Amino acid sequence: MDLNEWFWKVPAEDLKAGSFWIPEEKKWICLVCGRVYEEGKVYEVEGDLYLAEKAIDLHIRCDHGGTWNFLLELDQRFSVLSETQTVLLTFLHDGKSNRDIAQEMKVSESTVRNHRFRLREKAKQARIFLALWELVEVLEKREDKLVEYPKTATMIDDRYSVTEEEAQKMIEKYVDRNGKIIVFPNKQKSKWIILRHIIKEHLKKGIKYEESEINRILMNVIDDYVMVRRYLIEYGFLQRTPDGRAYWIPF
């Protein structure tokens, strides 16, 4: 299970904590950046030494500002929150009263109460929908199951409507037995599936690669590695520093 799947399928308690425990591997995973903390090892955080469970908690708070900020800043298509709702949630998280919120937002207290009511209803609806969807997923057949698209994708359209079965056929068509790309596809659906395959098979999350490392890895996959590197960034499979010296897989 890759990190995208972890983030979108872990229980709400893990999302709130910002980390996920893998018992069979005895590792903690940061759900924000994918950093791994192994049980029994000691980690330095801001000059002090901590065991894995405490270290990852401090890492999330110190390096990411806590999970609240990260979750609140997710793209609106994931949080489905309006700007007003986001502001109101922030005030509630800060412990402000209805009166204080009304003054800050320049609205009446009754308006604040109405917003709070709608947010509670939204939470109830979300819980029911989640339960219904999980029941659907239990019965979902492989040929009907859609492939997870990169969560950093900038544009979501029907190119991402690809089933697991269709994806496997694309991989068999464009990738030989040695893992080399026979020909890079032109169609958008096939293109992102092959890019996803390259990421899953040849790169690892939680690692920052130098540009020379990325080039060397991609050279073994396809001749036009520069083009593929560009597409990996464009489709959200890779991120890089402004100077192009470091590349990594976003969570």
CATH of the domain at 221: 1.10.10
Decide if pLDDT at 237 tops 80. yes
Residue 110 is predicted with a pLDDT of 95
Q: Considering the entire predicted model, what is its pTM?
A: 0.53
Looking at the fold, whether 240 and 167 belong to one and the same domain comes out as yes
The more confident residue out of 159 and 142 is 159
d(CA 22, CA 7): 13
Closest CA to 250 of 238, 233, 235: 238
Backbone angles phi, psi at 43, to 5 degrees: -125, 145
Is residue 32 very low, low, confident or very high in pLDDT (cuts 50, 70, 90)?
Answer: confident
Mean pLDDT of the chain: 86
- The closest alpha carbon to 120, from 101, 83, 92, belongs to 92
Domain span at residue 84 reads 74-139
Helices (runs of H) and strands (runs of E) counted in the chain: 12, 8
For residues 39-49, average pLDDT? 90
- Is residue 230 over pLDDT 80? yes
64 confidence band (pLDDT: 50, 70, 90): confident
pLDDT at 146: 67
Confidence at 87, pLDDT banded by 50, 70, 90: very high
For the chain, the domain total comes to: 3
- Percent of the chain having pLDDT more than 90? 43
Is the pLDDT reported for residue 127 higher than 80?
A: yes
Establish if 41 belongs to a structural domain: yes
Q: Could you tell me if 66 and 78 lie in one domain? A: no
Predicted local confidence at residue 202, as pLDDT: 92
At 59, the pLDDT band (50, 70, 90 cuts) reads very high
**In the prediction, which pLDDT does 152 show?**
59
Residues 190 and 236 in one domain: yes
